[in-house]
Amino acid sequence: MKFKEIEKNIYYCGLNDADRVIFDELIPLEHGTTYNSYLIKGSEKTALIDTMYPPFSEEYLKNLDNNGITNVDYIIANHGEQDHSGTMPALLEKFPNAKIVTNAVCKNNIKEMLLVDEDKFLTIKDSDTLSLGDKTLKFILAPGVHWPDTMFTHLIEDNFLFTCDFLGAHLPFEELYFKNDETLVLSAKRYYAEIMMPFRPMCKKYIAMIKEINPKMILPSHGPLHDSPDFILNLYAEWTFDTPKNLVLVPYVSMYKSVEEMAFYLKEKLENKGINVTCFDVIEDDLGDIAMNLVDAATIILGGSMVLASPHPAIANIAYIANLLKPKAKFASFIGSYGWGGNLFGKLGEILSGLKVQLIEPVLVKGKPKEADYKLLDEMVDTIYNFHKDAGLV
């Protein structure tokens, strides 16, 4: 495959992985993903920025040969996770004089994960520069998006910013500049929700920093390049904004449709009051869609049946994931149905305890919801409405 030229002497040498269906054995991928790698030929030195996921190493190395790359001086590791660093040992065999250029935290990760010797590294600090001759790389430490070892690389003369996982998307592409905005927005939002949302304060900090840099182009390590950086920066500004939207998210699992009936009742009543509601059957629906709704939701209502006196594992899993992703929601509650008893809400509440949410009185029914239960649901609707109204959302 011929490398795509981004600018004179700057090339895209990454690969699409359109067949991949799950990331980290957790995140469903709608379209697959990409592993972006970039080649910069300076007048004196040649550098690669990030490398390749190991199952694609052979193809990646062959592409370097086919594009006439006979020497690499520097391998820039913006992050140690192996979807970007995994091919580094093979590259060091191919180019024995090359040095891995990275920060101390990333170096230690690569040494531990890939068994690379200390003498193969050139360790940089924040704001250090590296000359390639007529091109200069500046390194900007960016711990927290999403690992402690993450850094950005700024190609100063061209004003290109390589942001590693930050501002990426799991979205394969053929043309360098992906112009289906709707698909890109959804992929980038899903990616933000699943990978970056737990680090929302850090995202805000780096968005402000990148706006100061005002790069001509943002080149992430997954998904399309951004030749109009404001496009992705403005989306991140919206997603990381402290105030949630007028949205109630109701993920539920329902063994005998009682919980589903309650979820749909809440939806209808809340929508009548001008509040948006998304319900997801967590068995049927996609985890990524639930995560995307967590980006915006002001209120989360978890709905669950009881299994063996405990919450159904499918809704416990959503509570666990919501707790990990740290959404900005302000309010939360539970609806549930049981056959013979158990502790549904206590256990879900424990799992969700990392969220800074105000809890709303839950509604638990035996079997099917009855008139008295619907009254309690009406009270929940009123409470949510009042909370949203007081928060200025509706």
Residues in region 222-261 near ligand FEO by CB under 6 A: 222
CB of 194 vs ligand FEO, minimal distance in Å: 11
Q: Among 17, 73, 83, 149, indicate the residue that binds ligand FEO (CB under 6 A).
A: 83
* Backbone torsions φ then ψ of 56, nearest 5 degrees: -105, 10
Nearer to ligand FEO, 107 or 146 (CB): 146
Could you tell me the two tokens for 266?
Answer: 């809440």
User: Phi and psi for 13 in degrees, rounded to 5?
Assistant: -125, 30
**Position 17 contacts ligand FEO (CB under 6 A):** no
Cα-to-chain-centroid distance, residue 357: 22
Q: Which stretch binds ligand FEO (CB under 6 A): 78-86, 132-140, 353-361, 383-391?
A: 78-86
Segment (H or E) for 240:
helix 229-240
C-beta of 142: minimal distance to ligand FEO in Å?
A: 12
Which of 77-85, 223-231, 362-370, 381-389 is the region at the interface with ligand FEO (rule: CB under 6 A)? 77-85
By beta-carbon proximity to ligand FEO, the closer residue of 219 and 275 is 219
- Nearer to ligand FEO by Cβ, of 79 and 154: the residue is 79
- Residue nearest ligand FEO by beta-carbon distance: 81
Find the shortest distance in angstroms from Cβ 151 to ligand FEO: 12
How far apart, in whole angstroms, are the C-alpha atoms of residue 31 and residue 91? 28
Nearer to ligand FEO, 105 or 277 (CB): 105
**What is each CA distance from 244 to 8, 275, 324, 329, in whole angstroms?**
43, 13, 18, 6
Q: Which is nearer to ligand FEO, 169 or 295 (CB)?
A: 169
x-marked contacts with ligand FEO along 187-226 as a string, rule CB under 6 A: ----------------------------------xx----
159: left (phi over 0), alpha (psi -120 to 50) or beta: left
CB of 97 to ligand FEO, least distance (A): 27
Binding mask 121-150 for ligand FEO (x = CB under 6 A): -------------------------x----
* C-alpha pair distances (Å), 104 with each of 203, 257, 285, 289: 22, 54, 42, 37
Which of 31, 41, 79, 170 touches ligand FEO by CB under 6 A?
A: 79
Q: Within 13 Å of residue 371, how many CA atoms lie on the same side as its CB?
A: 0
Distance CA 143, CA 206 (A): 10
Least Cβ distance, residue 150 to ligand FEO (angstroms): 8
Cβ proximity to ligand FEO: between 83 and 373 the closer is: 83
Determine the Cα–Cα distance for residues 137 and 44; give it in Å rounded to an integer: 13
Residues 155-194 that bind ligand FEO (CB under 6 A): 165
CA 75 to chain centre: 25
- The least CB distance from residue 79 to ligand FEO, in Å, is 6
Question: Which of 225, 77, 46 has its CA nearest to residue 150?
Answer: 77
Of residues 101, 109, 213, the one with CA closest to residue 161 = 213
228 touches 217 (CB < 8 A)? no
Angle at 124 between CA 122 and CA 128, to 5 degrees: 130
Considering CB under 6 A, how many residues would be counted as binding ligand FEO? 8
Note the residues at the interface with ligand FEO (CB under 6 A): 79, 81, 83-84, 146, 165, 221-222
